[in-house]
């Protein structure tokens, strides 16, 4: 009886606190959602962060417009000349994901492995609470409701975002499905993801915009037990858009417990004969062709970044977690990226971040069609051609990580099933990295386990000189998801292997490589060749073309590719080009296996035994082929 009384008293005090913090209009909006866990969460962090005002955003057009207007009023965005377009600056030193200060709050006795950045939960919670205390004083707090995945779906994960950044709230309105009605529908028992963000104290930047000041107190902490993300003293989307890669970490952890997959993958529909559409997911590290793959002709865009995969009725199905695109704008031009280029020039709602603001209130970014203007304003402040930073390096018109944010409806190739509650059936899974020397342009694995281990788990990508100062360093990045893992790598790979259980027809697994080079150091692939590789994969998932079995997988036949090059690109595909592209490079493949064996033995906790068995078998096949044919073998030898 006493316990019930204390619980009742606590609930009464909590609701009184909410009434004190929210005016009547906002309180009445909040209590339309009957969820005590929600009340506890909002009460706790409004009290801790201490904002001057609280705004509850429902799905109403009026509330969404309030957020848009607030972003301008609060000087986090500024209007551009084109209707619907705005510009935002992040602080000069707040331009990318803060890997150093992104940490998991881990209870004592839990070890996520050496690749995953963690801090003791008690210590980290104490630190983040001290940083957040009164951090929103003088600010307005926005309570936002979203849904990861389509609403009213088996994939749906409701989310609640608390932020004092109208830019973050506005961005998430473009990127994610509104979720007020979803969390209302689910009632009191549904577990939801929770996000607490504050940009902290602000300081003036270029064009009168405001940016986060106290970057030294930037923290991004992830609590897997309570499924809460904390983010402070930062505006950059990768640190603040909680439903993006931060939520991916929560989802990976939940998926591991519930036997589904949360992946850093695009979703595309590839056209086949007679109007057929076959759906593929694809994992590509940054700068490896992900966006260009999703915007090819005869391809529909289902999603560009995050996918959930589940076994529904013995079929692997997938949904796009998002409804918008937070894309890198560097290098986008009308010739190479016509679909995105067209979307960026439509009078639709778009946020440009860290690009150059010109005198006529337009934007310029590195690699845009036109020559750069002589003056403007960017993330560094007033800018002119030839401006140098403190180290004497050129300050480019836009930051290399400059972004655009828009709803996928701005794209002409949006897939018609993007909001289908049951998702789409996955026919193929693609893994691609930047690889100058080893993988052929396209190859199919022998089966699910072989593909998971030798394609997905073996994914590597070479760094570029422009980005990191040293070219050609291979970075191990299983499934292109290493930065976002919230479980040990070995467990993550094991989940992928076991995901194949009880499925009638598994997706085929492919590798692609758009960056293979010849002896002269030049790329062997044309920019548009990937259109042919996709069409070949589409035929393969329906068993409509044969392939050549090699020690590493199934390679295309020359005659099939020759026909596809004629159909897709009106190009005469020469036998010499085929041999150069698809020659099996045995020394390079053996070196890759040696690297992987070392990584799985020394850097990965609890690597599944099957990983070593599959890699050793592939090594033996390569050794046998070298004994018969030599180091470099045309696929036609097999």
Q: In 391-434, which ranges are E strands?
A: 403-407, 424-432
Beta bridge partners of 211: 203
Nearest to 252 by CA among 116, 70, 51, 90: 116
What are residue 428's DSSP bridge partners? 280, 508
Cα-Cα-Cα-Cα torsion 285, 290, 291, 295, nearest 10 degrees, comes to 180
| Catalytic residue (one of 49, 159, 288, 384) | 288
Distance in angstroms (rounded) separating the CA atoms of residues 216 and 218: 6
Q: Which of 605, 551, 558 is nearest to 580 (CA)?
A: 558
Give the DSSP per-residue string, 529-550.
Answer: THHHHHHHHHHHHTT-S--EEE
- For the residues of 556-578, what is the DSSP string, one character each? --HHHHHHHHHHHH-----HHHH
3-state secondary structure of 634: coil
- CA torsion angle for 542, 545, 546, 550 (degrees, to 10)? -80
Q: Apex CA 220: angle with CA 219 and CA 226, to 5°?
A: 130
CB neighbourhood size of 518 (10 A): 12
Angle between helices 558-569 and 575-582 (to 10 degrees): 110
Distance, in Å, from the CA atom of 567 to the CA atom of 402, rounded to the nearest integer, reads 36
Q: Are 560 and 297 in contact (CB under 8 A)?
A: no
Nearest one of 3, 46, 49, 6 to 26, comparing CA atoms: 46
Q: Whose CA is closest to 200, among 172, 229, 240, 160?
A: 240
Q: CB 474: neighbour CB atoms within 10 A?
A: 18
HSE of 177 in the Cβ direction (CA atoms, 13 Å)?
24
Q: Which is it for strands 307-312 and 266-271: parallel, antiparallel or unpaired?
A: unpaired
User: Rounded CA gap, 331 and 368, in Å?
Assistant: 6
159 catalytic residue (yes or no): no
d(CA 396, CA 387): 8
Q: Is 602 helix (H, G, I), strand (E, B) or coil?
A: helix
Asked if 319 and 148 touch (Cβ cutoff 8 Å), the reply is: no
- What the block records as the tokens of 540 is 């393969």
Beta strand 102-106 with 219-223 is parallel
Of residues 263, 251, 201, the one with CA closest to residue 222: 251
DSSP conformation class of 193 = E
39/11 Cα distance (integer angstroms): 9
Contact 597, 615 (CB under 8 A): yes
d(CA 600, CA 592): 12
Which positions are catalytic? 288
């Amino acid at each position: 009886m006493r316990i019930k009384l204390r619980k009742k008293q606590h609930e009464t005090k909590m609701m009184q606190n909410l009434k004190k913090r929210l005016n009547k209009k906002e309180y009445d909006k909040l209590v339309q959602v009957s969820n005590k866990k929600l009340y506890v969460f909002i009460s706790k962090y409004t009290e801790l962060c201490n904002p001057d005002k609280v705004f509850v955003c429902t799905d109403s057009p009026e509330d969404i417009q309030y957020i848009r207007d607030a972003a301008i009023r609060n000087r986090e965005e500024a209007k551009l000349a084109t209707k619907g377009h705005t510009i935002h600056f992040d602080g000069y030193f707040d331009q990318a994901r803060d890997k150093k200060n992104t940490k998991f709050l881990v209870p004592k006795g839990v070890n996520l492995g050496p690749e995953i950045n963690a801090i003791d939960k008690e210590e980290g919670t104490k630190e983040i609470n001290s940083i957040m205390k009164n951090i929103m004083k003088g600010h307005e707090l926005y309570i936002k409701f979203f849904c990861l995945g389509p609403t009213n779906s088996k994939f749906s994960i409701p989310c609640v975002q608390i932020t004092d950044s109208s830019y973050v709230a506005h961005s998430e309105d473009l990127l994610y499905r509104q979720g007020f009605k979803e969390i209302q529908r689910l009632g009191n028992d549904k577990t939801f993801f929770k996000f607490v963000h504050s940009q902290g104290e602000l300081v003036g930047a270029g064009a009168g915009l405001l940016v986060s000041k106290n970057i030294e107190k930037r923290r991004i902490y992830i609590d897997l037990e309570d499924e809460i993300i904390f983010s402070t003293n930062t505006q950059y989307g990768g640190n603040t858009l909680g439903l993006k890669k931060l939520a991916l970490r929560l989802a990976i952890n939940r998926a591991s417990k519930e036997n589904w997959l949360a992946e850093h993958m695009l979703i595309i529909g590839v056209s086949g004969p007679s109007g057929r559409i076959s759906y593929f997911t694809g994992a590509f590290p940054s700068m490896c062709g992900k966006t260009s793959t999703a915007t090819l002709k005869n391809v529909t865009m289902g999603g560009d970044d995050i996918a959930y995969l589940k076994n529904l009725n013995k079929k692997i199905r997938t949904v796009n977690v998002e409804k918008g695109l937070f894309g890198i704008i560097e290098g986008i031009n009308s010739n190479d990226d016509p679909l995105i280029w067209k979307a960026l020039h439509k009078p639709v709602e778009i946020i440009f971040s860290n690009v150059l603001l010109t005198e006529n209130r337009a934007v310029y970014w590195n690699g845009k069609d036109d020559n750069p203007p002589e003056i403007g304003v960017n993330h560094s402040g007033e800018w002119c051609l030839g401006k140098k930073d403190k180290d004497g390096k050129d300050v480019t018109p836009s930051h290399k990580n400059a972004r655009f944010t828009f709803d996928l409806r701005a794209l002409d190739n949006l897939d018609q099933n993007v909001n289908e509650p049951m998702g789409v059936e996955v026919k193929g899974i693609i893994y691609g990295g930047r690889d100058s020397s080893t993988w052929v342009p396209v190859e199919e694995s022998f089966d699910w386990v072989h593909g998971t281990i030798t394609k997905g788990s073996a994914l590597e990508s070479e760094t570029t000189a422009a980005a990191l100062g040293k070219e050609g360093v291979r970075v191990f990045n299983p499934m292109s998801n290493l930065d976002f893992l919230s479980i040990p790598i070995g467990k993550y790979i094991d989940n992928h292997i076991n995901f194949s259980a009880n499925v009638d027809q598994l997706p085929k697994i492919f590798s692609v490589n758009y960056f293979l080079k010849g002896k002269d150091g030049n790329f062997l692939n044309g920019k548009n060749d990937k259109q042919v590789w996709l069409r070949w994969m589409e035929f393969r998932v329906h068993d409509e073309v044969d392939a050549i079995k090699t020690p590493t997988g199934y390679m295309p036949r020359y005659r099939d590719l020759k026909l596809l090059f004629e159909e897709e690109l009106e190009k005469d595909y020469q036998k010499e080009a085929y041999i150069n592209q698809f020659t099996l490079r045995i020394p390079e493949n053996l070196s890759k296996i040696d690297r992987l064996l070392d990584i799985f033995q020394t850097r990965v906790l609890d690597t599944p035994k099957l990983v070593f068995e599959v890699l050793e078998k592939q090594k033996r096949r390569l050794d046998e082929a070298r004994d018969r044919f030599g180091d470099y073998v045309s696929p036609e030898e097999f």
